[in-house]
């Protein structure tokens, strides 16, 4: 029975993480700052490895989002949750511009987001030498 | 009992996807082309949205990897699996250069990878205006 018990607990934890990850994006999209605040651990760490930037703490992180310029909109394309880890693939629009983002987050045992890492991959031209295998869109 | 049955099935499927995702990276790192081939569906689709490139079919995709230039090395930093979907956060090294990659993949009901999407986020300088919230590393 312990295997079944572990499996059910694992699915429950994963379901919670999946819901929190989706709520996180929705609270950003809605500019629902109290709702975002309630999802975050007090000592949440937010990282953007491409620019080597880090924000520490819930209030700075909420402020960062509240001050983020532009009429930006977020939509979840895929969410993958696994225990207390999640990965989000986002469709981000700012006015007529569109970009994908990859977001990694971790939920604490208490059910609060304690770590978020964003990647903002930019378009680039393909290097030469693989045209024989590749189609473009 | 059906809830427990579903939960166990879900965990089993997730475990299989997690193992396949890890094997995928390992077979690339080992240049184990027959092993990579065995993980892929015949009609696998590989996409790089940043350059709007797409490769169709197992043999072209294996050839693309076998021909990929440079002494590249892949390490899994995180793997998140959820049903038949997985996200991989990779540490990629080519000689002295290091880059992160985000990989999304889907496994078919038959247990073969049928979709892979790679993001290769490049470094950039932070925009001005958020220095009051951010530390650099």
The answer to whether the CB of A103 falls within 8 A of the CB of A36 is no
Q: Is residue A87 situated within a structural domain?
A: yes
**3-class SS letters over chain A:** CHHHHHHHHHHHHHHHHHHHHHHHHHHHHCCCHHHHHHHEEEEEEEEECCCCEEEECHHHHHHHHHHCCCCEEEEEEEEEEECCEEEEEEEEEECCEEEEEEEEEEECCCCCEEEEEEECCCCCCCCCCCCCCCEEC
Residue at A30 is within a domain = yes
- Residue A136 covered by a domain: no
Q: Looking at the domain assignment, is residue A108 inside a domain?
A: yes
In a domain, B134, yes or no: no
Q: Do B51 and A123 make contact, defined as CB atoms within 8 angstroms? A: yes
pLDDT tops 70 at residue A125 = yes
Q: What pLDDT score was predicted for residue B11?
A: 74
Nearest chain A residue to B131, by CA: A53
Q: Is residue A134 situated within a structural domain?
A: no
CB contact under 8 A, B48 and A119: no
Q: What is the mean pLDDT of residues A32-47?
A: 98
Mean of pLDDT over chain A: 93
Q: Average pLDDT for residues A37-63, to the nearest whole number?
A: 98
A125 is a domain residue: no
CATH number for B100: 3.10.450.50
Q: What is the ipTM of this complex?
A: 0.90
User: Looking at the domain assignment, is residue B84 inside a domain?
Assistant: yes
pTM for the structure as a whole: 0.91
In this structure, how many other beta carbons lie within 10 angstroms of the beta carbon of residue A12? 11
For A62-92, what is each residue's pLDDT tens digit?
A: 999 999 999 999 999 999 999 999 999 999 9
Please name the residues in contact with B54: beta carbons below 8 A apart, sequence gap of 6 or more: A134, A135, A136, A137, B45, B46, B47, B48
Please give the tally of structural domains in chain A: 1
Mean per-residue pLDDT, A48-63 = 97
**Mean pLDDT split into 10-residue runs, chain B, 137 residues:** 60 93 98 98 98 97 96 97 97 94 98 98 92 93
pLDDT of A122 reads: 93
pLDDT score at B6: 66
B-chain residues within 8 Å CB-CB of A102? 87, 102, 119, 121
| Residue A1 pLDDT | 42
Question: What local confidence, expressed as pLDDT, does residue B1 receive?
Answer: 41
Q: Do B119 and A121 touch (CB under 8 A)?
A: yes
What range defines the domain where residue A42 resides? 3-119
pLDDT grade, residue A11 (50/70/90)? confident
């Amino acid at each position: 029975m312990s295997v079944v018990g572990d499996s059910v607990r694992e699915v429950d934890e994963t379901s919670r993480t999946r819901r929190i990850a989706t709520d996180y994006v929705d609270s950003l999209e809605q500019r629902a700052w109290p709702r975002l605040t309630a999802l975050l651990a007090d000592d949440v760490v937010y990282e953007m490895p491409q620019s080597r930037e880090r924000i520490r703490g819930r209030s700075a992180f909420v402020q960062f989002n509240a001050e983020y310029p532009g009429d930006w909109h977020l939509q979840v394309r895929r969410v993958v949750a696994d225990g207390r880890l999640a990965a989000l693939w986002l469709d981000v629009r700012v006015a007529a511009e569109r970009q994908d983002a990859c977001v990694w987050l971790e939920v604490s045992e208490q059910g609060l987001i304690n770590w978020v890492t964003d990647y903002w991959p930019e378009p680039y031209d393909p290097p030469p030498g693989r045209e024989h295998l590749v189609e473009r869109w």
